[in-house]
Amino acid sequence: MSVPPESVVPPPSNGSAAPPSDPPGAQERQWAMFAHLSALAGLILTGHWFGWGCFLGPLIIWLVKKDSMPFVNDQGKEALNFNITVAIIFFALFVLTLITLGLGVVIAIPVGIVVGVAWLVFTIIAAIRANEGVRYRYPFTLRLIG
């Protein structure tokens, strides 16, 4: 017996071949939230101003939990990509200051403040969304870890 063509549901056209997965459990949501918030802890614990510690926390959580928790795998990669992007921006601002023999600080400080505040706000939003079980995507992020 054949199925009429109008009753066949087409696959989602969002570019992904994977079907939607089950909603993440409480423990998985909590680890995903930790993946985002660990960037704050990594920055504080390393004591660097230029963002070098911000990707260590997400990297560790992603490496430990990526095989056992799909939601943490997704959100850990997202947090890692975002924090690597922020570290690249701060490194570029530092290089700009060095190349211009300090004159670039006129641009680097205001841009650094804006990027730093945006980093903090987006990290908090991502942690809240992950705790709600929503797959958050940071804006303006290089997707280096796929």
Predicted confidence at residue 53, as pLDDT, reads 74
Helix (H) or strand (E) holding 78: helix 70-99
Can you give the pLDDT at residue 44? 80
pTM: 0.81
pLDDT of residue 46: 75
**Going residue by residue through the chain (146 aa), what tens digit of pLDDT does each one get?**
555 555 444 444 444 444 456 899 999 999 999 999 999 888 787 765 555 678 888 999 999 999 999 999 999 999 999 999 998 999 999 999 999 999 999 999 999 999 999 999 999 999 999 999 999 999 999 999 98
Closest CA to 90 of 54, 126, 64: 54
Contact of 145 with 80, CB cutoff 8 Å: yes
Question: For residue 43, what are its two tokens?
Answer: 């920055």
Return the amino acid letter for 108: A
- What does the DSSP assignment read for 40-68? HHHHHHHT-SSSTTTTHHHHHHHHHHTTT
> Letter for the amino acid at 117?
V
Question: Looking at residue 15, what is its pLDDT?
Answer: 42
Tokens of 34: 């930790």
Residue 55: name the closest of 33, 74, 81, 30 by CA. Answer: 81
Q: What is the pLDDT of residue 41?
A: 87
